[in-house]
Amino acid sequence: MVKHQDLFGLENKVAVLTGAASGIGFATAELLAELGSNVIILDIDEEKGKVATEKILAKGGEASYFKCDVTSSSDCEMAIKEIETQFGRIDILFNNAGVIRRRNVVDLEEKDWDLVLDVSLKGAYLLSKYAIPVMAKNNGGSIINTGSGWGLKGGNEAVSYCAAKAGVVNLTRAMAIDHGKQNIRVNCVCPGDTDTPLLRDEANQLNEEENAFLVSSALGRPIERLGTPRDIANAVLFLASDLSTWVSGTVLTVDGGGLA
């Protein structure tokens, strides 16, 4: 019988995850740690990052925390250098950090446009810029970027988020073309509405009652419920693991059939 450790090929892999103090990032860190990876949590929130790390350690996983602002080139470069110094390699990079501002193009302030684009799109660029040379030294690896269903179609009152996530989708394809020769696979996971702090914050931004907003977010899709962070983590697991060694440049939609 094949053991799951052999099936996924994640034992002792070094996985770097951004925005991993909560939500999808944390669920993915937990899952990769359960399957034997040494997970490195990068997050700007130091308190939450340390709590998330302790939770994984308490379950017997291997985890470390590094404070990192993904919009800062110096922060990203320093984090990757420190990770290489301590662990000697990077096998998996999950560019997951993101924020949303629910405004249309007229009402959106320039600073919020910059913030959303910088965290989701520039952050993926910067971490990849510094991580790819480390991956290339060790015969490649897997990069997974978090897009969104709204990176594939438009959404209301979310112009900067839609633009950022559409950019992430095509950034993924371009990176896959450029770095396949280094045995680096680059893929994108596009979640639908998922029960995370980010989604709950949207209710506040839109001045809607939180529970009613969550219920409405689940309506209209064939599998009529919200996604869970673990639903998305399972998709990231596939793209990070040896189950997808010939998968690169793809966009995997995980949304309960919402875009079907």
What domain range includes position 36?
4-194+228-247
Task: Please write the tens of the pLDDT for every residue from 27-47.
Answer: 999 999 999 999 999 999 999
Q: Is residue 84 part of a domain?
A: yes
Question: What residues are annotated to the active site?
Answer: 161
Q: Is residue 202 part of a domain?
A: no
Question: C-alpha distances in angstroms, 23 versus 100, 122, 228, 234, 235?
Answer: 14, 20, 9, 13, 14
Percentages helix, strand, coil for the chain (3-state, rounded to 5) are 50, 15, 35
Q: Is residue 206 part of a domain?
A: no
Q: Which backbone phi and psi does 133 adopt, to 5 degrees?
A: -60, -35
Which one, of 247, 217, 201, lies nearest residue 150 by Cα? 217
Q: Could you give the CA distance from residue 160 to residue 222 in angstroms, rounded to a whole number? A: 27
Q: Is residue 211 part of a domain?
A: no
Q: Which backbone phi and psi does 76 adopt, to 5 degrees?
A: -65, -45
Q: What is the mean pLDDT of residues 135-164?
A: 97
What is the CB neighbour count within 10 angstroms for residue 260?
A: 9
pLDDT band, residue 4 (cuts 50/70/90): low
pLDDT at 191: 98
Q: Is residue 65 part of a domain?
A: yes
pLDDT band, residue 1 (cuts 50/70/90): low
Q: What is the mean pLDDT of residues 207-223?
A: 91
Q: Is residue 253 part of a domain?
A: no
Q: What value does the mean pLDDT of the chain take?
A: 96
pLDDT at 3 over 90: no
What CATH number does residue 160 fall under? 3.40.50.720
pLDDT at 215: 86
Q: Is residue 117 part of a domain?
A: yes
Q: Is residue 220 part of a domain?
A: no
Total domains in the chain come to 1
